[in-house]
């Protein structure tokens, strides 16, 4: 039985379930025209959590696919965290109103830390996931289009000091490549901040990658392309026996 928290991802562009390679919008693969159908299938397979990314929203700097979030939430009992384009009070309210249990916020946390901290106090640290999208050791923002110039570890420390407990860290150079996750990076983060509920994201290619992350003590993992390409052995992972979303 797997103890690592298993979080499949649904990335949305123009209403469809897609995956990008290294965050490149020109290198996308459409896996299903109906994200709601995908979410239902994931629930039927025993998954409890779902990571939904509004890629249109990330690019547009406001939520675009809130209606799809609402449909997924009303059609399943999955615990959903939602990210992409959450830049304003209206955006975060829309995400929660449409059924997200948690939101993942990255770009705004890098550019307007006062707003992120206010939201964390208003909605609670358990509902806020700090998005840390990393390229060459620096935080990347706005759909991975811009380099913030902020180094990863100081970025994390500042927010951990403010009460952040959940971090979704994506190594952009790995994302969508199915070449294995950035295990050394995640181990480094956990060595500095063992109290974190760290969610590893990017590069998962197979069941063995997830098992290796588990052996290294990484609390949670997001995966997408490997699942859609049939590289994940769901019976071996047994997701129905894993529900660590609130630990």
SS3 163: coil
Question: Is 133 an active-site residue?
Answer: yes
- DSSP-derived pairing of the beta strands 102-105 and 138-141: unpaired
- Stated as kind and residue range, the H or E segment containing 114 is helix 113-123
Question: Is 89 an active-site residue?
Answer: no
Which of 56, 91, 133, 209 is labelled catalytic? 133
Cβ–Cβ < 8 Å for 128, 116: yes
Tokens of 41: 């299938």
Q: How far is CA 235 from the centre of its chain?
A: 23
User: Taking every pair of C-alpha atoms in the chain, what is the biggest distance, in angstroms?
Assistant: 44
- β-bridge mates for residue 102, sequence order: 81
- Helix H, strand E, coil C: the string for 181-210 is CCHHHHHHHHHHCCCCEEEEECCCCCHHHH
Which of 11, 54, 175, 209 is labelled catalytic? 11
Cβ–Cβ < 8 Å for 101, 81: yes
Cα–Cα distance between 105 and 39 in angstroms, integer? 22
- β-bridge mates for residue 135, sequence order: 138
Active site residues: 11, 133
């Amino acid at each position: 039985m797997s103890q690592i928290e298993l979080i499949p991802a649904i990335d949305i562009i123009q209403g469809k379930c897609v995956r990008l390679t290294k965050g490149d919008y020109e290198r996308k693969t459409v896996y299903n025209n109906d994200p709601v159908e995908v979410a239902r299938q994931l629930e039927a397979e025993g998954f409890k959590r779902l990571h939904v990314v509004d890629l249109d929203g990330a690019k547009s700097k406001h939520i675009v696919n809130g209606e799809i979030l609402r449909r997924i939430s009303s059609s399943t009992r999955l615990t959903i965290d939602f990210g992409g384009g959450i830049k304003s009070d209206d955006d975060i309210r829309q995400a929660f109103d449409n059924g997200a249990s948690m939101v993942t916020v990255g770009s705004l946390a890098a550019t307007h830390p006062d707003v992120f901290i206010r939201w964390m106090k208003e909605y609670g640290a358990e509902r806020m996931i700090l998005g840390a999208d990393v390229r060459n050791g620096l935080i990347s923002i706005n759909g991975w289009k811009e380099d913030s110039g902020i180094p990863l570890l100081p970025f994390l420390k500042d927010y951990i000091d403010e009460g952040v407990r959940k971090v979704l860290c994506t190594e952009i150079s790995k994302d969508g490549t199915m070449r294995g996750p950035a295990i050394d990076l995640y181990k480094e983060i956990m060595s500095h901040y063992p109290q974190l509920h760290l969610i590893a994201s990017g590069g998962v290619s197979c069941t063995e990658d997830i098992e290796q992350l588990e052996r290294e003590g990484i609390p949670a993992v997001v995966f997408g392309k490997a699942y859609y390409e049939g590289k994940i052995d769901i019976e071996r992972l047994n997701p129905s026996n894993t529900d660590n979303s609130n630990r």
